[in-house]
Amino acid sequence: MQGITVTGSMIRSVDVETAQPVTELSHEALQQQGFVSVGQILQNVSSVGSSGTSSQSALGNIVGQYVSLRGLGAPRTLVLVDGQRWTTDIFGQTDLSTIPSSIIDHVEILQDGASAIYGSDAIAGVVNIITKKDFDGLQLDTYNSTYSPQNDGKTGQFSLTGGKKFSRGSILFNVTAQNTDALMANDRDYSKYGFFSFGPNYPQSQAVPSPYGTITGALNPATGLPVNLAPLANGPITVNMGQNGLDIANYHLNTFGIQYPSPYFNNDYQNSSFLETLTPDNRLRSYFLKGDYKLTDHITATLIGTYNTADSSTSTSGYELSSLTPANGAHLAQALGMPAGAFPQVYFPTLSSQSYYNPLPGNNLEFLLPLQYPDRITYNKIKQYGWRAGLEGDFSIGEREFNWDVGYSDFRYDQSSFGPGNLNMVHVEQAVGPSFLGPNGVVECGTPGNVIAGCVPLNPFSGAGGITQAEINYLNIVAGTSSYSEMKTASANLTGDVFTLPQSMGEGDVTFAVGADHRGISGGATPDLYTQLGLNTNLQQNIGRGSYGLNEAYAELNLPVLKDMPGAQLLDIDLAHRFSRYTNFGNTNNNQFKLSWQPINDLLVRASYGTGFRAPAIANLYGGTLQSFTTYTDPCDVNFGLTGNSVVQQRCLNGFAGLPAVGPGFTQLNPNGQPVPAPNTTSTTPFFTGANAGLKPESSRSYTAGFVYSPHYLTGFNATLDWYRIRIKNVITLPTASSILDNCYLLGDAQQCAQFQRSTAGGPFNGQVINLLQTLVNQGFVEERGEDLDLSYRFPDTPIGKFKFDSTSTYIDSVKEQITPGGPIISNTLGAYDTVLGPLWRFRSTVNLNWSYKHFGATWTVRYYSSLSEPCIPANPSLSEFLPCNNPDKDLANSPHGLNRQGGLAFNDLQVNWETPWKGRIALGATDIFNRKAPLSYTGVYSVAGPLGPTGTDGYGDYPYNPQYDIGRVIYLKYEQKFF
């Protein structure tokens, strides 16, 4: 009898029921889904948690789709296609958008660590996508959907699959085209006030200040020191809309972040939501080819090839140009042909005392000018392609049967992210420099007799708002980064049975699998030249590239100790070991032990223990250094920091570890120089993140125990209950800015104190955190424990049709984290938002009720999420901000103002279908059929920094809504037509 390989083991077996627990999404179950992408389908499996990123982060430029088993991060979930590793990006994640759903036959999800079987990355589990096989005919699949009632965000997919079976082989091809329209932030109420706002009831929460230009300070042009001027005595001043910014009498005291309602609201706040992407558009094109040919009766050649492209774009409106916008001083001087040292190490622009547009001549002016145009648009182009060729066969030695396979593959993932809208800092420096009104009535850069050819002077205080088209054209620059990741693999495997146990033990066959493989991993990221030099607003980034290789060998042995015996219909032990040798960090050994015991036919009891590892990805090792605006909470902030701790308070007031003191009442400021209104607020100057070529692999230990119960007296009923525990050590992590600051002031860690500075420049930003460095490290641990419960029941047939019920549920008992060695063990993020892992629901469940009658069918699905809590924001009467806080006496770490609990919620889906007489299938349905909306999140979503690290597109959500939740009803129509 021909055996098959089930996810979780390399041994071919006919006893599939004895394999370790695997959740399977059948072809029928996939058809009943209202989602078209693989990522969306998997996201509704209860054991799949947040990946810490989402496509609702235009600022993070997230365009791929990822799966994160147990919510432990996408790099810790191994994705296979037909049992083989699939392409990853430079962060070690598999972008599921490169796998068209129309080629899938079924999906197997192993919810257990499996590094001894598969090697690196299989810490949280394995997702094995099985493509169609032995397909004979031609089939058309279409899918069209739209949000209702808005009639926007439309998705259309066209897929053609053809195949032919021959006497000695088969061939299959698939062509898929999928188009998804973008949603802009102003298309939905919760995001209509733009990035980092608080939803439709809080227009004062708009995060972008006045487009008319604000003077934030003045400097002596000779010394660079702050100057106290009467117009600025009470704070920043903003030009009145429609008035001439050259006259200082046409300014008013800025009210942004200070006063609401305000007579100057429309003057001091800017809503750019119509230019900010909520969800990106996407244009997917996929070409897939798969074939096999019997060279002999016992040897078959196999081939798989794929070529996929995914083009999308995101918009984030214009750049917030200000005197906090940095440029590399040395490279700026070089670009302008000036001597070394002409600028400080980090250059910040100020409007020259000799600028024609300076309303306070004789002083260099610090300014703030958030722009809507040029709009920052990033055109993302993803290309994934590769092939695998191999031979597989079987042979016998006596009565023993063996199977073998050898293969070689080469897969590559390219991403290009470029676009207009960033600012050329060389041109900015010239545009804010000296300028004058020429004899022709045109303002020119430079001084009379020394005009800078081609330069357009910048007027940052225009009563018309924004800047002119000529200024836009002069400052605009195309910027971006291209990256690639390539994996080449050679592998060989042998499996078979070696001997039969004695009759007294049930005569079970002892089976084995052995194999070896070699992989070469390479990749890199290359930004444009001005981004490398720090001469644009795309944030400075170095070129990063590197490679490593590995050789692995494994062995697996299955021992059916007892079989068909009283009290032991089956007692099966499976042992596996894998040795891995990496060229960059050395060796690692991993083991797995599995036990299956079937005391009676109705009950299977199982348990497993295994060790695992995750090797650092290319970006982790060789990603270079990148500037990044990062959310953080200053521990010295008297409103949201840790100054309630007397030790922290004294270290802030007196200075500590070489850091200067901050004064009493110190607050973290926003770009407008006002106290931040909430914790976890974006930094006013960029911080730095860095890769680490010395990283070691993460290591893990996994434990599972459970049972499968299928009672003979209740035909059609199955119950599976499994307990799990996963502990990951030496976590590859990018310490958050807040953790670095807290470890300095709270724990007194001098090494962490050396990773940032405080500004000593004077003025309103004196004492603010600057130049903070976040470098990837191996430190701390994450541990998660919980249970999975799967239930299904196929009811007896009735006169009105067949009914089936099934559910998958996951309950998390605990999540524990230690960020730094010797630091506190955090255990209170369960049921809340974790900074790296994202939202951690204690309980998730998906329930399906299916009905079928002759050629008709229907499926009702309920997707349930338990409650989440987040830190409260204290009332701010001056801004009329009174955000909900239903548990004011409860607390999370660093959140002394209480918790707001968002209750559990359920989304309901419905599909009805008809199998037509002409070999067609029509399905009409809706996801979130009741158009249910989740409660808004005012702090939790914004606190998730994401797990990706340097050169990454970190980002979870830019708006006050959890992006894991449905954002509204989607109506869809599926049509499937088999031609022959």
Output the pLDDT for position 468.
Answer: 94
Distance of CA 245 to the CA centre of its chain: 43
CB-based burial label for 160 (10 Å; 0-12, 13-18, 19+): middle
Q: What is the pLDDT of residues 174-212, one digit of tens each?
A: 999 999 999 999 999 999 999 989 999 999 988 889 899
Closest CA to 870 of 898, 836, 841: 898
pLDDT band at 838 (very low <50, low <70, confident <90, very high): confident
Q: Is a pLDDT exceeding 90 seen at residue 324?
A: no
Output the pLDDT for position 12.
Answer: 65
Tell me the C-alpha distance between 242 and 645, whole Å: 49
Mean pLDDT lowest among 5-9, 302-306, 419-423, 869-873: 5-9
Q: Is a pLDDT exceeding 60 seen at residue 4?
A: no
Output the pLDDT for position 890.
Answer: 80
Average pLDDT of the residues in 146-174: 95
Output the pLDDT for position 223.
Answer: 87
Output the pLDDT for position 949.
Answer: 46
Tell me the C-alpha distance between 900 and 128, whole Å: 39
Tokens found for residue 927: 């996801």
* Single-letter residue type at 167: S
Output the pLDDT for position 956.
Answer: 80
Q: Is a pLDDT exceeding 60 seen at residue 894?
A: no
Average pLDDT of the residues in 378-389: 95
Kindly report the number of other CB atoms within 10 A of residue 442's CB atom.
Answer: 10
pLDDT band at 217 (very low <50, low <70, confident <90, very high): very high
Average pLDDT of the residues in 822-830: 81
Query: Mean pLDDT highest for which of 327-341, 675-689, 754-768?
Result: 327-341
Mean pLDDT lowest among 536-540, 807-811, 838-842: 536-540
Q: Which residues make Cβ contacts (< 8 Å) with residue 286, sequence separation at least 6? A: 98, 100, 174, 175, 176, 177, 178, 306, 307, 308, 309
pLDDT band at 136 (very low <50, low <70, confident <90, very high): very high
DSSP 115: H
Tell me the C-alpha distance between 589 and 517, whole Å: 15
pLDDT band at 885 (very low <50, low <70, confident <90, very high): very high
Output the pLDDT for position 959.
Answer: 92
Total-model pTM: 0.90
* Single-letter residue type at 569: Q
Q: Is a pLDDT exceeding 50 seen at residue 282?
A: yes
Q: Is the dihedral of CA 108, 110, 116, 121 positive or negative?
A: positive
CA-to-CA separations, 445 to 167, 356, 364, 441, 451, in angstroms, rounded:
79, 9, 16, 13, 6
Q: Is a pLDDT exceeding 90 seen at residue 337?
A: yes
Average pLDDT of the residues in 364-393: 95
Average pLDDT of the residues in 661-686: 84
DSSP 934: P
The backbone torsions φ and ψ at residue 582, rounded to the nearest 5 degrees and listed phi first, read: -100, 145
857-860, long-range: CB < 8 A, 24+ apart: 857/912, 857/913, 857/914, 857/915, 858/910, 858/911, 858/912, 858/913, 859/32, 859/909, 859/910, 859/911, 859/925, 860/908, 860/909, 860/910
Output the pLDDT for position 689.
Answer: 84
Q: Is a pLDDT exceeding 50 seen at residue 952?
A: no
pLDDT band at 52 (very low <50, low <70, confident <90, very high): low
| Maximum pairwise Cα distance, the chain | 109
Q: What is the pLDDT of residues 171-182, one digit of tens each?
A: 999 999 999 999
The backbone torsions φ and ψ at residue 69, rounded to the nearest 5 degrees and listed phi first, read: -65, 140
Q: Which residue has the higher pLDDT, 705 or 628?
A: 705
CB-based burial label for 348 (10 Å; 0-12, 13-18, 19+): middle
Output the pLDDT for position 49.
Answer: 82
DSSP string covering 554-605, please? EEEEEEEEEEEETTEEEEEEEEEEEEEEETTTEEEEEEEEEEEEEEETTEEE
Tokens found for residue 117: 């079987």
Kindly report the number of other CB atoms within 10 A of residue 228's CB atom.
Answer: 9
pLDDT band at 673 (very low <50, low <70, confident <90, very high): confident
Q: What is the pLDDT of residues 623-640, one digit of tens each?
A: 888 887 788 999 999 999
CB-based burial label for 970 (10 Å; 0-12, 13-18, 19+): buried
Tell me the C-alpha distance between 615 and 888, whole Å: 43
Q: Is a pLDDT exceeding 90 seen at residue 945?
A: no
Average pLDDT of the residues in 229-236: 93
Output the pLDDT for position 955.
Answer: 66
The backbone torsions φ and ψ at residue 630, rounded to the nearest 5 degrees and listed phi first, read: -125, 145
Q: Is a pLDDT exceeding 70 seen at residue 5?
A: no
Tell me the C-alpha distance between 449 and 461, whole Å: 26
Contact 141, 172 (CB under 8 A): no
Output the pLDDT for position 507.
Answer: 80
Output the pLDDT for position 345.
Answer: 81
Q: Is a pLDDT exceeding 70 seen at residue 484?
A: yes
Q: Is a pLDDT exceeding 70 seen at residue 727?
A: yes
Contact 327, 335 (CB under 8 A): no
Contact 348, 325 (CB under 8 A): yes
Output the pLDDT for position 1.
Answer: 38
Q: Is a pLDDT exceeding 50 seen at residue 243?
A: yes
Output the pLDDT for position 779.
Answer: 87
Tell me the C-alpha distance between 26 and 419, whole Å: 41
Contact 339, 188 (CB under 8 A): no
Output the pLDDT for position 606.
Answer: 94
Q: Is a pLDDT exceeding 80 seen at residue 57?
A: no
Average pLDDT of the residues in 962-977: 95
Tell me the C-alpha distance between 955 and 836, whole Å: 10
Q: What is the pLDDT of residues 499-553, one digit of tens each?
A: 888 887 878 889 999 999 999 999 999 999 999 999 999 888 889 999 999 999 9
The backbone torsions φ and ψ at residue 745, rounded to the nearest 5 degrees and listed phi first, read: -80, -30
| Mean pLDDT, the chain, whole residue set | 90
Output the pLDDT for position 681.
Answer: 83
pLDDT band at 950 (very low <50, low <70, confident <90, very high): very low
Q: Which residue has the higher pLDDT, 208 or 359?
A: 359
Output the pLDDT for position 20.
Answer: 64
Closest CA to 612 of 782, 490, 787: 782
Q: What is the pLDDT of residues 581-592, one digit of tens each?
A: 999 999 999 999
